[in-house]
Every structure is written in structure tokens, then in C-alpha cells.
Amino acid sequence: MKNNLKRLLLASSVSLALAGISATALGTEDSDGLNSARQQSQIETTYALSPYLRAHDIEIEVVDGKATLTGIVDEDVYKELAEQIALGVQGIESVDNEIEVQADYVMEASTDNERSFGEVVDDASITAAVKSKLLWSSFADGLDSDIETHKGVVTIAGTTDSDETKSKIDKLALGTRGVRSVDNQMTVDPDAKTAATGSDEDISSGQAISDTWITTKVMSTFLMSRNIHSSDINVSTEDGIVTLNGTTQSSTENALAVELAQNIKGVKSVIATDLGSLL
């Protein structure tokens, strides 16, 4: 989410700068037109980044601080969301929401393999998440891998030392938020020796791993994992021993939280006696 917001803010800043330069040269009337274009672009970009709105056909027109929305969505909540996003853009004073709601509406699928801007951002975020989770894991320490994502499908290439490690990598990647499937093309070589290259791996090469580092990575791993409600789990670490408390949605989620924490580098053991489950 932070990466998406940074991209949006950057795009908005560039548009604002261009609007300011053009306004000086062309006068107030043209400046108003550029402001409308900037506001329309910002709304369109936010819709493209939204997983709830990008799958709908919505058109935006902005004139003098008024945004007119047309198109089709399949739920009232999406019509309301589109309006609230438009109202949240600076300079938008009113919204004429003419979006139709059709319960059976399905946007026509693209006939090519080209990704939308929102899908490109999602894929980049997924790749970063999978790379980070592998980087922090004890079983993939110094892993020689190449990870790419296209429309939620993660492809992993490289070399690993065993079928067991390859299977763990599959599970870790598949459990990442936004991942639709995993194509693990890694070859297994028992004699493979991987070299640590990143700053985080340097921690595992004989240097002590701090409790703060462990706690941060456990919490980040929970946040990136699709089947973990991270806001309901508290994490603390002392001398490499991780303690989890709070509430999970099920015993399955409980067990997964323990497993994910145990897989983080530097973790000696996990205590979850105070981690309850609703089911």
C-alpha cells in the first residue's frame, strides 16, 4: 500500500508541477483546464490501483471542480466507493454519480496478455513480498533464485538444495497476498552452495540477529500472508524466543502463524500458549 501511495503522490506532484508551469505561460483559463485534467488523472489512477474498481467500466470527466462519473458496476458499494474516492481529490467540490448498478455485470476480459497499470503495480508488490519472505526465511538462506510475477502468477527460477526446500518455497510464495498460483521452476542440486548477497543475509553469516529484527520480520511476514489476520496477533521476542498472543480465526491459522514465525532466521523457538482461536 505504501508503494502504491508513493506512486500516486509522485504522479500527482509531477502533474501539479506541469500545471503550475503551464498556468504561468497560458493564463488562468488554461490553468483551470489543466487542474481539471490533473484531478481527472488522479481519480483514474486511484481507480486503476483499486482492486475493487479496476474490474469495472467507469468513465470520469472533471470540469470546474465537478466530477461526473458514468459506467457500470455490479454492487452499490462500488458505486459509493467511486464517489468517495473522487470527493477525496483536492479541488473536487461535487460529484455527479451516474454510475449504473447491474448485479450480473462482468467486464469484458482483455483478449491479449497486456497488463493494466494496477496489475503492474500489484505484480511488482507481490514479487517484492515473495523475495522479502524468502530473504528472511531460515530454510532459504542465501537462496539463488529469480522471481517474476505476471497477473498474480509467480514464477521462481534458480537452484535449491533439496525437494523439501523447494516445497517450502512453493508454500511460502503461494501463501502471499495476491498470489494466484506458483510456477516453481527451480532445479534441485544437493551440492549447490548458495552465497548470501543481501544486507539481511549478512546478518545470518555469524553475526547476532537482534530480537527487534526478528519481531519486525515476523510481523511483516504475517502482514504479507493471505491467511493471517496480522492485526489480531501480537509478537514479541527475547533471546531469539518468539512469543505470540492474541486471537486467530481458526486453529489452522494458529498453526500457520507458528510455522511462519518458526521459519524466520534467528528464531530459536515459538511460544503460542496465549494465542487463542475462534474455531
CATH 3.40.630.30 fits 208-277, yes or no: no
Indicate the helix (H) or strand (E) that contains 276. strand 269-277
Domain range annotation of the chain: 2-101, 117-188, 208-277
* Band of residue 202 on the pLDDT scale cut at 50, 70, 90: very low
pLDDT at 142: 66
What is the DSSP track for 112-136?
A: SSPPPHHHHHHHHHHHHHHHHHHHH
Distance, CA of 216 to CA of 213 (rounded, Å): 5
Asked if residues 172 and 137 have their Cβ atoms less than 8 Å apart, the reply is yes
pTM above 0.85, yes or no: no
Q: What's residue 81's pLDDT?
A: 93
Please compute the mean of the pLDDT values over residues 108-128 and round it to a whole number. 79
DSSP state of 15: H
Q: Do the domains at 117-188 and 208-277 have one common CATH topology?
A: yes
Is the pLDDT assigned to residue 101 strictly greater than 50?
yes
Which class is domain 117-188?
alpha beta
Q: Is the pLDDT of residue 102 over 70?
A: yes
Percent of the chain at pLDDT > 90 equals: 52
**CATH code reported for the domain at 2-101:** 3.30.1340.30
User: Tens digits of per-residue pLDDT, 221-260?
Assistant: 999 998 888 788 999 999 999 999 998 889 899 999 999 9
Whether residue 199 has pLDDT greater than 90: no
> Up-side HSE of residue 123: CA atoms within 13 Å toward CB?
18
Q: What is the pLDDT of residues 37-82, one digit of tens each?
A: 999 999 998 988 887 888 788 999 999 999 999 999 988 999 999 9
Q: Look at the alpha carbons of 166, 168, 171, 175 in this order and tell me if their dihedral is positive or negative.
A: negative
